[in-house]
Structure 1
Amino acid sequence: MSVADLPKVELHLHHEGAAPPAFVRQLAFEKKMDISKVFNAEGGYAFQDFVHFLSVYEAATSVLKTPEDYARLTRAVLEESAENGVVYTESFISPDFCGGGDVAAWKDYLAAIKEAADQAETDFGIILRGVVTCVRHFGPEKAKASALCAAETAGDWVVGFGMGGDEGQGHQGDFAYAFDMAREAKLQLTTHAGEFGGPSSVREAIDDLNVSRIGHGVRAIEDRALIEEIVARQITLEVCPGSNVVLGLYPNFESHPIKRLRDVGVKVTVSTDDPPFFATTMRREYEMLHQAFGWDADDFAELNTTAAHAAFCDDETRQRVLKKLERT
């Protein structure tokens, strides 16, 4: 079995960002919407840099208007993930896109997503759990509405709360109220940091939001004391190497710090972030890491076990995931 064929756990996947371009084009056609500018000549998503990526992401997301649209999206995303060997995934889902932050509307969207996820588990064997996210560049007040949606639906399926968006807008601490609401609802916490925000944003995430996982977090490698604290606190990084390379943080996989982070004891995991935007899959991430660092099946098994233990799901689900990771 090649490393690309191994069963995989993915912890950092944006629900809309995983939408296949053909799926988005089909929805736009059905709704008579012209979003041709979000695609390149080859039919993929087109963007120049991170800020432009965010605007293209939101333009593509604009075709998703109903709970049924999200049900169809969920099935398309999970079928693609399962084809890449993913047995468990946590997807970032934002009430801002699913009902505009209204709790009643959010519940309708969530019910449709969960029904599709349950059917996909039956059909493809993949388990999905939801991490509700606020969007940083939408501001702290909208984050509170997202946190309320998360708190009202917290349980065995909605298992976490986090934040994505433009790291250049405000500070992590500006969103402490929303994160406190989620924490009181017994949701586990993650936030994007240490991507474009640098190591200081990771420090803010730890000090001001007290998260147990950090999305990306790779810029922490630039601060030795911060690395020591991450190791001591056993904080897990949701690392997305292909995304980091495409967006220009690092020129190639060989220069990516995931190996250095792992070598000094940081708990790292591997994810795709927004796979069709970055022309990647979980299979490709594994193949590229194998080529760059010589990681073998045992290395990836350890990474996946780390991810399973860092997952926000309940223990019964975790045991099912660990069972799926066993190699025969």
Structure 2
Amino acid sequence: MSVADLPKVELHLHHEGAAPPAFVRQLAHEKKVDLTGVFDDQGNYKFTDFVNFLRTYEAATAVLQTPEDFGRLTSAVLEECAANGVVYVESFLSPEFCGCGDLAAWREYLHAIQEAADRAETTHGITLRGVVTCIRHEGPEIAKRTALCAAETAGDWVVGFGMGGDEGKGHQGDFAYSFDMAREAGLKLTTHAGEFGGPESVWEAIRDLNVERIGHGVRAIEDPKLVQEIVARDITLEVCPGSNVVLGLYKDFAAHPIQKLRAAGVKVTVSTDDPPFFGTTMRREYDMLAAAHGWDAEVFAEINQTAARAAFCDEDTRATILKRLEAA
């Protein structure tokens, strides 16, 4: 068995960002939505830098307008994940994309997503859980509305709360109210930091939000004291190497600091972020990491064990996933 064939746990996947281009084009055709400028001549998503990526992302996801659309999206995303050997995935979902933050509408969208997830678990053997995510560049007040949606639907399926978006807007601590609300509802916490925000954004995430996981977090490597703090606090990083390379943080997989972080004792996991935007899959991430860092099946087994233990799911689900990993 090659490393790419191993069963995988993915903790950092944006639900809308995982939409296959063909799926988006089909929805756009059905709804007569103009997507000029979203795709290149080969039919792939087109962008030049991170800010432009966010604009392309928002334009592409404008075709997702109803609970049925999100149900269809969920089926398409999980079929692709399962084809890449993923057995458990946590996906970032924003109520702002699902009913504009209205709680009643969010429940309808969530129901459609869960129904599709249940079908995929039966058909493909893949388990999905949701992490409700506020959007940083939309500001703290809208984040409070998102946190309320998360708190009101927290349970066995909605298992976490986090934040994505433009790290250049505001500070982590601006969103402390929302994270406190989610924590009080029993949700586990993660936030994007240490990607474009640098080490200081990771310090803010730790100090001001007290999160259990950090999305990306790779620029922590620039601050040895921060690396020590991450290890001491037992924080897990949701690392997305292919995304980091495409967006220009590192020139290639060999230059990526994931192995240095791991060697320093940091708990690292591997995910795809927004896979079709970055031309990647979980199988490709594994192949590229194996080639760049010499990782073998034993290392990837350790990475997946780490991811399963850092997952926000209930203990029964975690035990089931761990058994599947161990069986392989």
Where 1:90 maps in the other structure, the secondary structure is: strand
Quote the sequence identity (%): 76
Q: Which runs of 5+ in 1 are unaligned?
A: none
- Aligned 1:75-224 pairs, distance under 5 A: 75-224=75-224
3-state SS of 1:326 partner? helix
Name the amino acid aligned to 2:96: D
Q: Give 1:259's aligned residue.
A: 259
Alignment-mate amino acid for residue 113 of structure 1 = I
Name the aligned partner's letter for residue 88 of structure 1.
Y
What letter corresponds to residue 60 of structure 1 in structure 2? A
Distance apart, 1:150 and its partner CA: 0.1
Q: How many residues align?
A: 328
Write out per-residue CA displacement over residues 125-180 of structure 1, whole angstroms, 9 at most, x where no aligned residue: 00000000000000000000000000000000000000000000000000000000
Deviation, 1:323, is 1.3
> What is the alpha-carbon distance in structure 2 between the residues aligned to residue 226 and residue 312 of structure 1?
24
The offset of 1:320, in angstroms, is 0.7
The residue type equivalent to 2:115 in the other structure is E
SS of the residue 2:154 aligns to: coil
Aligned to 2:72: 72
2:35 alignment partner AA: I
| Unmatched tracts of structure 2, length 5 or more | none
Distance 2:120 2:195 in 1: 32
**Counterparts of 1:323 and 1:79, CA distance in 2:** 22
1:34-84 CA distance string (max 9 Å, x none):
103100000000000000000000000100000000000000000000000
Secondary structure (helix, strand or coil) at the match of 1:183 reads: helix
2:314 is aligned with 1:314: yes
* Deviation readout 1:107-131 (Å, 9 max, x if unpaired): 0000000000000000000000000
Please say if 1:60 is aligned against 2:80.
Answer: no
Q: Could you tell me how far apart the structure 2 residues matched to 1:38 and 1:10 are?
A: 27
Tell me the amino acid that sits aligned with residue 11 of structure 1.
L
CA–CA separation in structure 2 for the residues paired with 1:324 and 1:133: 28
Superimposed CA distance per residue, residues 12-53 of structure 1 (whole angstroms, 9 cap, x where no aligned partner): 000000000000000000001110310000000000000000
What's the CA shift string for 1:169-223, capped at 9, x where partnerless?
0000000000000000010000000000000000000000000000000000000
Q: Secondary structure at the match of 1:38?
A: coil
* AA of the residue aligned to 1:12: H
Distance 2:267 2:161 in 1: 20
Q: Which amino acid aligns with 1:239?
A: V
CA RMSD across the alignment: 0.5
Partner amino acid for 1:285?
Answer: E
Which amino acid is the alignment partner of residue 90 of structure 2? Answer: E
- Equivalents in 2 of 1:50, 1:19: separation in Å? 18
Residue 326 of structure 1 and its aligned partner are, at CA, apart by: 2.0
Q: TM-score, normalised by structure 2?
A: 1.00
The equivalent residue for 1:270 is 270
Instruction: Give the secondary-structure state (helix, strand or coil) at the position aligned to 1:36.
Output: coil
Matched to 2:12, the amino acid is H
- What is the CA distance between 1:88 and its match in structure 2? 0.1
The code of the aligned residue for 2:324 comes to K
Question: Structure 2: how far apart are the matches of 1:108 and 1:164?
Answer: 23
Distance 1:36 1:118 in 2: 35
Give, in whole Å, the separation in 2 of the partners of 1:323 and 1:281.
24
Give the Cα separation in 2 of the matches to 1:273 and 1:113: 19
1:239 is matched with: 239
Partner of 1:292: 292
> 1:280-315 CA deviation, whole Å, 9 max, x = no partner?
000000000000011000000000000000000000
* TM-score normalised by L of structure 1: 1.00
